[in-house]
Amino acid sequence: MIDIALVRNEPDKVRENIRRKFQEHRLPLVDEALELDRKNREAIHQAGALRAQRNALSKQIGGLLAQGKKEEAEAKKAEVADIARELLDLEQKEAAYAEDIRQVMLQIPQMVDESVPLGRSDADNVEMERFGDPAVPPFEVPYHVDIMERLGGIDLDSARKTSGSGFYYLKGDVARLHSAVLSYARDFMIDRGFTYYIPPFMIRSEVVTGVMSFAEMENMMYKIEGEDLYLIGTSEHSMIGKFIDTILTGEELPQALTSYSPCFRKEVGAHGIEERGVYRIHQFEKQEMVVVCRPEDSMEWYRKMWQNTVDFFRTLDIPVRTLACCTGDLADLKVISCDVEAWSPRQQKYFEVGSCSNLGDAQARRLQIRAKDADGRRFFPHTLNNTVVAPPRMLIAFLENNLDADGTVRVPEALRPYMGGKARIG
């Protein structure tokens, strides 16, 4: 959510930002916000004038009573009563205008960073850099579910019976590998100075609307029937929500946090949930990183955060690349975002395994997360999030890139302490 002052002072800049995101249908929101803001400021001005008039009359009443002019004082009291009724009406209008403005502002997208490439969809995203050499082995790489089944590591048929498509049972060494990756990711981020958290896995609606757009909410979140609770789609939701209605001191910034959670997603709009695969599913686990920092430091943190994910994957012998998300592919709250994609030897292309985003002050404004310097200056901090790793999707890249011709899978040295010292599974 951007500042109404920006809409008021630079409406053309806001309109151009909407056009850059190819959301022309939202252009009328700017005029709607301007009109509501005008009415609200007019009501505030009128209320201020009435309060000044009431104060002046109150002083006159005191003077008249002191002079024994009771009838004149009573007449002034009647005027004060009339003003009180007008004030009440104006205050109710102010509250209504403020809420209307908020609802409109929630729909106006965040201002996109100038470096974000112009484009309508993810097809227009731009490759930034590659890390590691993408290789294709001299043997056929099976589909990831076939690899898992040969290792005795997955049961999709039972999951379909208990839960439907988009669910799975992991077992044996594959399940152990799944847990090992998450444990390694946890320690990897702790070693980089992040504080480890396990957050609540359900959040209230006010937190949901504070951390994401309405479209994302409808397409992602599972609602708990009969309660004001939603299952989280990522731990970023509850980690940012942790700071709702708080004032941080300057010394408390930055907050560098890494969190584990299960994630639950409806995946509405996805082109079908894979019947046999584990690429797009309703339930998975993830290690996340979240940063709350000063506005002037957020772009530096953005670069550090996606680099952390790149470094993590490279320690597991997985080639990756970074992809700058274009304007049309950015969610409404994002200033800038990039995807980390892993190499698939079977498909001979990269696929998404994580996403890093700088949301500027959008979430802070929605959730009233503020910061205060020693000199009393207040500001909205910036929030960022990034995927460290999200198995089982990451397991697809891991198994394909570490598979040998005999069907066994290499365990990189960094992961062996979490696998009981095993150098190979099969």
Q: Between the CA atoms of 252, 256, 257 and 263, what dihedral angle is there, to the nearest 10 degrees?
A: 120
* Diameter of the chain measured on Cα atoms: 108
Write the burial class of residue 131 (CB in 10 Å: 0-12 exposed, 13-18 middle, 19+ buried): middle
Q: How far apart are CA 290 and CA 246, in angstroms?
A: 17
Is 225 marked active-site?
A: no
Among 160, 352, 370, 410, which one carries the catalytic annotation?
A: 352
Contact present, 290 and 385 (Cβ < 8 Å): yes
Is 265 marked active-site?
A: yes
How far is Cα of residue 43 from the mean position of the Cα atoms in its chain?
Answer: 35
Is 160 marked active-site?
A: no
Long-range contacts of 2-7 (CB under 8 A, 24+ apart): 2/105, 2/108, 2/110, 2/111, 2/362, 2/365, 3/365, 4/33, 4/37, 4/101, 4/105, 6/111, 7/33, 7/34, 7/37, 7/105, 7/108
Among 15, 265, 321, 365, which one carries the catalytic annotation?
A: 265
Contact present, 108 and 11 (Cβ < 8 Å): no
How many alpha carbons fall within 13 Å on the CB side of residue 231? 17
Supply the DSSP string of 112-175, one letter for each residue: PPTTSPP-SSGGG-EEEEEES-----SSPPPPHHHHHHHTT-EEHHHHHHHT-TT--EE-HHHH
Contact present, 393 and 379 (Cβ < 8 Å): no
Say which residues have a Cβ less than 8 Å from residue 60's Cβ, sequence separation at least 6: 76
Supply the DSSP string of 221-255, one letter for each residue: PEEPTTSS-EE-SSHHHHHHHTTTT-EEEGGG--E
Per-residue burial over 170-187, b if 16 or more Cβ lie within 10 Å, else e, is: beebbebbbebbbbbbbe
Among 235, 298, 344, 355, which one carries the catalytic annotation?
A: 355
Is 72 marked active-site?
A: no
Among 8, 280, 410, 416, which one carries the catalytic annotation?
A: 280
Is 15 marked active-site?
A: no
Among 15, 20, 366, 393, which one carries the catalytic annotation?
A: 393
Residues with active-site annotation: 265, 280, 352, 355, 393
